[in-house]
Amino acid sequence: MEIIRKLVEQCLPAAHAALSPRLLKEDTNGSSRQHGSERLPRTRVSLFLLAVLLTIVLFVVGYQGIQTLRVLDVVEHDRDRWQQAGEVIEQLNLKDGSVVADVGSGAGYFALKLAPIVGEKGGSRGGHP
């Protein structure tokens, strides 16, 4: 416990002030005595370290999520070039209220592009056997 306290004192002086409870209390006759167990400081330090760990995990997961979205954006842009989805959809002469079935849709590449065109009154369904 003493090692952790020293690390906190050296690295995070403000955190030390918040996490360090008074372990010594004045007795009625003025002498100092040890106050109970050290559970409270251990709990506070443990909660602090847990909060730091969770913050780091959230940043890593968030960063990985952003990187995945960037890769997916590049892949979709590349697929738009060779698949020419705009030209294919234009040939269907779709309008608001149309109903479209994308058979063999896989991940739903076309179904997701068709949905905004047919609107709320229409429908875009995708299925993959």
| Cα–Cα dist 71/49, whole Å | 33
The domains of the chain are located at: 1-83, 84-129
- Where residue 107 falls among pLDDT bands split at 50, 70, 90? confident
Strands (E), the chain: 24-26, 32-34, 99-103, 123-127
Question: What integer pLDDT is reported at residue 124 of this predicted model?
Answer: 86
25: exposed, middle or buried (Cβ count in 10 Å: 0-12, 13-18, 19+): exposed
**Predicted TM-score of the model (pTM):** 0.47
Q: What rounded mean pLDDT belongs to the chain?
A: 79
Question: What integer pLDDT is reported at residue 22 of this predicted model?
Answer: 47
Question: What integer pLDDT is reported at residue 38 of this predicted model?
Answer: 57
